[in-house]
Structure 1
Amino acid sequence: MKKWIVAACLTASVVLAQGQTVLITDSIEIAKPKLTFSAFADIYYLYDFNQPENHERPGFVYAHSRHNEFALNNAVIGAAYTSDVVRGNLGLHTGTYVQRNYAAETINGSEVLKYIYQANVGVRLAKGLWLDAGILPSHIGYESALSIDNPTLTRSLMADNTPYYETGAKLTWDISDKLTISGLVLNGWQRIVETDQNKALGTQIQYKPTKGVLLNSSTFFGKEGTYRYYHNFYTVLDLIEKVTIIAAFDIGWQQQLDITGKKDGTKTWWNPNLMVRYKPTDKVAIAGRVEYYNDPNNIIIAPTALPDETFVTGFKTFSPSLNLDYFPIESVALRIEGRLYSASNAVFMKDNQTKKTDGIITTSMAFKF
């Protein structure tokens, strides 16, 4: 990737800083610098009705991945520094989510990088224009790595199989209260440790046409073996009191090569997702989700390995879920969720036999401050 592209696209995420303002020049006011600390933990018990003997859920699941075991999904401690001209975040984490999702993040045999949740620094270049660089949250999707921030307990197939995090730089421009645009240069598709000489590009546009409506478009373009283009679209609707609706649709294209290495078209995967959450009181919430994941060529989700060393190819799966949340205090969530997976072919395993369905019940106690 040409160096001038990298230089032109260095970028950053947006954090709003509040506090007493102090005049430092005739034209720029900055907020009084603020240093805050945070912590999060998610302890869960999950029962998978396919009863995997090794306690590991299928390979396309990265969060809440252990069966019939009380486990720590993730625990995070962090610090954030904010002012009107400089900001930064540093966080460390551990848990079953970290062990599974960061398995590839090793450098010279060391696994130290997998325990970094965030590490980024940002500077304000002009009014509404920020440049951040480092290990950043993903710009794709509406779900967080912290379960307590999500409307459903488990993450969607869409979220679990797109980046949770990314490393690079992000330039964000708050054009108005309604419109924010960002551009990114990244090491790759969810990658801290660079594995080749290529860089990836990303964009994000968020538009709020009216109160209670958010439209988001995020893209990724980079070389993941071959060239990959991915587009994530979602809308958040808070138009009805106590009800939140989120609708999303993702689609990706991966370049294909023939046996001689020449271009041979593209393969496509796609995923619609709909979530409705009702929160009748500050202490209770109910959420339902339906989604369908279509990856017929196993671009993202690997084929199912069988005991005889053959594979079941193609992944076309429908997954509804329903969860109930109770918040005894604002910073603590007690949650239970039931979820079903129903595939068009036998991609799930039980007792060394393939089957088309799977079901789980997940409970969680999480806190965040």
Structure 2
Amino acid sequence: MKSKLLLLLSLTAATFAANAQEKTDPPLTIGGSVDTYYKYDFSGHNNIPTSFASDQNSFSIGMVNLFAKKKVGKASFVGDLSFGPRGQYQSVPNGDGATNNAANSFHIQNLYVAYDLTDKLSVTAGYMATFVGYEVISPVGNFNYSTSYLFTNGPFQNAGAKFTYAFSDKVSLSAGLYNDLWNVYTAASKINTIGTQLMVAPVKGWTAYVNFLTGPASGTVVDLTTSYQITEAFKLGVNAANFDAPKSPAGPRGGYVGAALYPQLAVSSAVSFGLRAEYFKTKDGVWVTAGPAANESVTAFTLSANIKGGPLTFIPEVRLDNASKEATSIFTNKNGVATKSASQFGLAAVYAF
């Protein structure tokens, strides 16, 4: 009888301890995605200088994206890693600044910790996906598989520390201090970039962000990102940005200006269609963009479908880009001669978990 009582007490204590642990120490959340694609540029060669999905007439891989996050009480962390071409820097150094590993397929997308100082004020520090822009690196976060000129020419990540104050569930303000350069784990020489973000949510389904990032080595970008779920089936997104490159003794500094519209229509729970209509202009100056020549512009129209089968999304896509002038166009035809337009077809598969 006594042994049965002891066993019952032990089981009760173990159950209580497990419940207490569960309440005070939530489980680690792990997730991510994998993606693969096929792309064909009708010129017969890669022609459109935006990020990722650059292989021509090839069944190719995007990346494996793995993230882990956890919050216990007021403290939290996020670790986000990628393996594959979509996650790496393909023409500039990786985040550690070393040029000899430009072909390395491994990259840290996010690595930061956060703490809630009060119910309204929090602090975050580490290496963070940028708050600037509409599109992100992970294909799960985008409707289109190919990316915009605004995304390619803006920051991908910023290393630093920021404070965020929530005035209400409709208004918040973030302000931070960041390393001197974008997209690197460590500062080149100084911590001298300032960034702010104002978030407003005027009505249900509508959220807008006004972003500002400036530094003497990285330049200044002002960015508006907003999306409005107008009906259950129709969503409209907008991204507009102006970038002034850092000052240069070689001449006018240059930069870019552009805007993109993202209308999306869900025809069923499994099928949606979306259009990205973008205008992008390179300013006069020494700064070279992944886009048109100085004082020239490009318009780009990308029509995509999202066809879902559980966690798997198929993305067929047609894209047409048009330069402002043929003579200085960055596009070339099958014979390698400058032409005003470029077009491509793509088919991607993205699995989220």
Per the TM superposition, whether the score is higher than 0.5 is yes
| Counterparts of 2:57 and 2:69, CA distance in 1 | 36
1:214 aligns with 2:238: no
1:84 aligns with 2:65: no
Which one has the bigger strand percentage? 1
1:231–1:252 Cα contact (<8 Å) kept? yes
Note the alpha carbon deviations across 1:232-270, whole angstroms, 9 max, x for none.
0122111222110012211122354456xxxx7764521
| Counterparts of 1:205 and 1:155, CA distance in 2 | 24
**Pair 154,118 (structure 1): closer, same or farther in 2 beyond 3 Å:** same
Alignment map for 1:1-369 (pairs within 5 Å): 32-52=25-45, 57-58=47-48, 60-101=49-90, 103-105=92-94, 106-107=96-97, 111=101, 115-187=107-179, 188-224=181-217, 228-258=219-249, 267-297=254-284, 299-301=287-289, 313-329=294-310, 331-345=311-325, 346-350=329-333, 351-369=335-353
Structure 2 unmatched ranges of 5 or more: 1-18
**Pair 44,360 (structure 1): closer, same or farther in 2 beyond 3 Å:** same
Structure 1 unmatched ranges of 5 or more: 1-21, 24-29, 305-311
| Counterparts of 1:269 and 1:236, CA distance in 2 | 22
**Pair 109,100 (structure 1): closer, same or farther in 2 beyond 3 Å:** closer
Q: Taking structure 1 as the reference length, what is the TM-score of the superposition?
A: 0.80
Q: Report the AA paired with residue 142 of structure 1.
A: Y
Larger mean Cα displacement after TM superposition, 195-204 or 172-181: 195-204
Counterpart in the other structure of 1:14: none
| Counterparts of 1:109 and 1:161, CA distance in 2 | 19
SS at 1:214 equivalent: strand
1:319–1:341 Cα contact (<8 Å) kept? yes
Report the Cα offset of residue 75 of structure 1. Answer: 1.3
| Counterparts of 1:72 and 1:355, CA distance in 2 | 29
Q: Taking structure 2 as the reference length, what is the TM-score of the superposition?
A: 0.83
SS at 1:126 equivalent: coil
| Counterparts of 1:31 and 1:174, CA distance in 2 | 25
2:158–2:178 Cα contact (<8 Å) kept? yes
Report the Cα offset of residue 144 of structure 1. Answer: 2.0
Report the Cα offset of residue 61 of structure 1. Answer: 1.6
Note the alpha carbon deviations across 1:73-93, whole angstroms, 9 max, x for none.
121112111233111111221
Report the Cα offset of residue 102 of structure 1. Answer: 7.3
Report the Cα offset of residue 34 of structure 1. Answer: 3.1
1:57–1:66 Cα contact (<8 Å) kept? no
2:83–2:105 Cα contact (<8 Å) kept? no
2:156–2:182 Cα contact (<8 Å) kept? no
Q: Report the AA paired with residue 343 of structure 1.
A: A
Counterpart in the other structure of 2:14: none
| Counterparts of 2:71 and 2:143, CA distance in 1 | 27
Note the alpha carbon deviations across 1:207-254, whole angstroms, 9 max, x for none.
001112112100110123xx6211001221112221100122111223
RMSD: 2.7
Note the alpha carbon deviations across 1:324-352, whole angstroms, 9 max, x for none.
111011x2101111011100122113433
**Identity rate of aligned residues, in percent?**
19
1:290–1:319 Cα contact (<8 Å) kept? yes
1:72–1:95 Cα contact (<8 Å) kept? yes
**Pair 256,151 (structure 1): closer, same or farther in 2 beyond 3 Å:** same
